């Protein structure tokens, strides 16, 4: 029987599996952790919940539902994909062979090592402006980063925040920054606050008071896997057509790794589409 491997157990990967499993395709999902949703404390913009739900609970519900349908979910880290007659997926623990693959590994958000950053995650430190801007409306916020992604997050915060400062942590910003966004290039020493973020302390001893810090230190990851089998990528996203197909036959991608709106609803939609596309590909 032809089989599929889905790399990722987030909304995109699990959504894809719901379709392939129910179509009778032998499917394995491989995931290494809870992905982006593991960092989301409260989701209140996804259909079907009368109360906010934590990212971890949403993921657990998704995985449990897929298991009920017979999903084979493996906890492991994928190190590479290659192709020789069939796809070969190399993980830390094993090697798997597949006729078709869906990459649903999300967008890895590079996190700099700054004292206080991990401790204040979810309490003033966010990784998603579109998701969390609402919680910081009318407040002073900052974006940590110096590239296009950081500018994108800063622009998303401008309409609702009192002020937006781009903190480049010693780097020069690569894109041109509009006047409405303040730029501070000083190296950061630590992030401080009692129960939530209050102050950014710079290495020269000066400080900046902010209620929110959005980490946008570049996006990397999923494209590395795609590139290993020769699939085209652009600006840290995997290029796909309208059927979620990459430029390599049998290799599909879904969710945050394809760029655009990084939200659960889009990941679930693309996962479903990729699942359907795999079914069609394997039945040909």
Ligand X SMILES: Cc1cc2nc3c(=O)[nH]c(=O)nc-3n(C[C@H](O)[C@H](O)[C@H](O)COP(=O)(O)OP(=O)(O)OC[C@H]3O[C@@H](n4cnc5c(N)ncnc54)[C@H](O)[C@@H]3O)c2cc1C
Furthest-apart CA atoms within the chain: distance in Å: 65
Among 18, 21, 25, 37, interactor with ligand X by CB under 6 A: 37
The minimum distance between CB 37 and ligand X, in angstroms, equals 4
Footprint of ligand X on residues 158-187 (CB under 6 A)?
none
If one asks whether residue 77 binds ligand X (CB under 6 A), the answer comes out as yes
35 binding ligand X? (CB under 6 A): yes
Please choose, from the candidates 73, 54, 57, the residue with its C-alpha nearest in 3D space to the C-alpha of residue 14. Answer: 73
Q: Is residue 12 at the binding interface for ligand X, with CB under 6 A as the rule?
A: yes
The pair of three-digit structure tokens given for residue 55, joined into one six-digit string: 């990212």
| Least distance in angstroms from the C-beta of 203 to ligand X | 27
11 lines the binding site for ligand X (CB under 6 A): yes
Joined together, the tokens standing for residue 129 give 């402006």
Interface residue with ligand X among 2, 23, 26, 32 (CB under 6 A) is 32
Give the count of beta carbons closer than 10 Å to the beta carbon of residue 220. Answer: 12
CB under 6 A: which stretch of 42-50, 66-74, 110-118, 194-202 binds ligand X?
42-50
Q: Is 155 helix (H, G, I), strand (E, B) or coil?
A: helix
Residue closer to ligand X, measured from CB, 202 or 254: 254
Tell me how far apart the terminal alpha carbons of the chain are, to the nearest angstrom.
Answer: 13
Binding positions for ligand X, 192-221, rule CB under 6 A: none
Binding span for ligand X by CB under 6 A among 41-49, 63-71, 173-181, 200-208 = 41-49
| DSSP one-letter code for 132 | H
User: Binding to ligand X by residue 4, rule CB under 6 A?
Assistant: no
Query: CB burial class (10 A; 0-12, 13-18, 19+) of residue 26?
Result: middle
Give the residues across from 91 on adjacent strands: 78
Residue 195: both structure tokens together: 């129960």
Q: Does 104 bind ligand X (CB under 6 A)?
A: yes
CA 237, CA 5: separation in Å to the nearest integer? 20
Strands, E, within 222-264: which ranges? 233-234, 237-238, 251-253
Q: Write down the least CB distance from residue 217 to ligand X, Å.
A: 13
Tell me whether strands 163-167 and 251-253 are parallel, antiparallel or unpaired.
unpaired
Site for ligand X in 233-272 (CB under 6 A): 255-256, 262-265, 267
Nearer to ligand X, 11 or 145 (CB): 11
124 binds ligand X (CB under 6 A): no
The residues of the shown chain that bind ligand X, judged by CB under 6 A, are 7-13, 30-33, 35-37, 39-40, 43, 45-46, 77-78, 104-106, 126-128, 131, 255-256, 262-265, 267
């Amino acid at each position: 029987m032809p089989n599929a491997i889905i790399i990722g157990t987030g909304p995109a990967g699990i959504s894809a599996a719901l379709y392939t499993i129910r179509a009778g395709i032998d499917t394995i999902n491989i995931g290494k952790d809870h992905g982006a949703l593991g960092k989301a404390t409260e989701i209140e913009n996804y259909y079907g919940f009368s109360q906010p739900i934590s990212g971890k609970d949403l993921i657990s519900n998704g995985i449990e539902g897929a298991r009920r349908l017979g999903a084979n979910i493996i906890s492991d880290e994928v190190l590479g994909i290659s192709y020789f007659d069939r796809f070969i997926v190399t993980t830390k623990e094993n090697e798997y062979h597949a006729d078709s693959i869906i990459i649903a590994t999300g967008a890895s958000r590079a996190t700099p090592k700054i004292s206080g950053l991990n401790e204040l995650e979810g309490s003033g430190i966010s990784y998603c402006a579109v998701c969390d801007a609402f919680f910081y409306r009318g407040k002073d916020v900052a974006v940590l980063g110096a590239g296009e992604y950081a500018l994108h997050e800063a622009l998303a915060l401008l309409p609702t925040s009192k002020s937006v400062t781009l903190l480049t942590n010693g780097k020069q910003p690569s894109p041109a920054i509009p006047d409405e966004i303040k730029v501070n290039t000083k190296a950061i020493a630590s992030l401080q606050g009692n129960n939530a973020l209050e102050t950014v302390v710079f290495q020269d001893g000066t400080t900046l008071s902010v209620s929110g810090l959005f980490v946008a230190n570049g996006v990397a990851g999923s494209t590395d896997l795609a590139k290993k089998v020769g699939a085209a990528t652009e600006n840290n996203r995997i290029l796909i057509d309208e059927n979620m197909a990459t430029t390599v036959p049998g290799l599909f991608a879904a969710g945050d790794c394809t760029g655009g709106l990084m939200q659960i609803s889009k990941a679930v939609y693309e996962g479903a589409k990729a699942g359907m596309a795999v079914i069609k590909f394997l039945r040909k």
